Amino acid sequence: MRKGNETREKILDIAEAAVLSKGFGVTSIEELIAEAGITKSGFFYHFRDKNELAKGLLVRYAEQNDRLLEQVFGRAAELTDDPLQRLLIGLNLFAEVMGGLPDGHPGCLVATMTYQDRLFDRDVRAMVTETVTGWNGFFTDLIEAALAAYSPREAVDAESLARTICCVIDGSIIMAKALGRPGVLPEQLLMIRQHVKLLFAGAVLRVVSPEAAAA
């Protein structure tokens, strides 16, 4: 079982690198088999066809990103009970993590599959939508928590601001690739952090936590 899992992960590693490099359409099963050093039947043991491969890639990619977000913003929550500060600290920590990648972010698999959505069946397209919706929802929850605690000086729509943050992340990955500047992503994360900070500049505290009241 362990060897089978290792082979599956190896196929996914090779496929992800190929898809990010040149796209899903021109990534062939034959080249994956050759690079993985397995037989065709070995490939089809793990993936029935390319749509199943796409599903495997998406599930793994989404899980990795969800885990990263939970770790980064979970760390922010350990540092403060204030929901606005959690968001600001989390964005700062996220920028640090992205800035620490030696060669920059390798690319967004979800974006690549979105551009080539006609290659996939309905289930894969639904998974792409669900993944993006989940990321938007993650940031929406953080922003709504901040809005529940603070009354900002400017009107803020939580869902719209969450989409802005997600657009900054994906757009920065694309721009970094186009310009050959890995630092674009952490730079823009800090810019959107500054935008959020300015939106809440002078905000009136709605709710005082028991910890803050005791202090």
Give yes or no: residues 78 and 41 share one domain. Answer: no
Query: H or E stretch including 89?
Result: helix 83-99
Q: How many domains does the chain have?
A: 2
**What per-residue confidence (pLDDT) applies to 19?**
95
- Residues of the domain holding 10: 1-47
Residue 215 falls inside a structural domain? no
CATH number at residue 3: 1.10.10.60
Length of the chain: 215
Q: pLDDT at position 206, please?
A: 73
pLDDT for the residue numbered 117: 86
Same domain, 68 and 24: no
**Which pLDDT score is estimated for 183?**
96
> Given this model, what pLDDT does residue 145 score?
97
205 forms beta bridges with: 150
Is the same domain home to 84 and 127? yes
Segments of the chain with pLDDT less than 70: 1-4, 207-215
* Residue 113: inside a domain: yes
Is residue 212 included in any domain, yes or no? no
pLDDT tens for each residue of 178-195: 999 999 999 999 999 999
CATH number at residue 71: 1.10.357.10
Pairing assessment for the beta strands 204-205 and 150-151 based on DSSP bridges? antiparallel
Query: Residues 102, 138: one domain?
Result: yes
Asked if 174 and 86 sit in the same domain, the reply is yes
Q: Check residue 154 and give its pLDDT.
A: 82
Judgement on whether residues 187 and 82 belong to the same structural domain of the protein: yes
Domain assignment present for 190: yes
Could you tell me where the beta strands, DSSP code E, fall in the chain? Answer: 150-151, 204-205
Phi-psi region of 37 (alpha: psi -120 to 50; beta: other; left: phi over 0): left
Residues 110, 150 within the same domain:
yes
Of the candidates 11, 29, 47, which is a domain's last residue?
Answer: 47
Are both 176 and 152 inside the same structural domain?
Answer: yes
How many CA atoms does the CB half-sphere of 42 hold within 13 Å? Answer: 18
Q: In this predicted structure, what is the pLDDT of residue 213?
A: 43
Amino acid symbol at 193: R
Report the alpha-carbon distance of residue 158 to residue 75 in Å, rounded: 22
pLDDT at 212: 45
Report pLDDT for 214.
43
Same domain, 35 and 138: no
**Quick check: is 52 in a domain?**
no
The reply to whether 189 and 108 lie within a common domain is yes
- The per-residue pLDDT for 207 is 52
**Does residue 193 lie in a domain region?**
yes
- One domain for residues 103 and 161: yes
Query: Is 132 a member of any domain?
Result: yes
83 and 106 together in one domain: yes
| pLDDT at residue 131, as a whole number | 96
Kindly state whether residue 213 falls inside one of the protein's structural domains: no
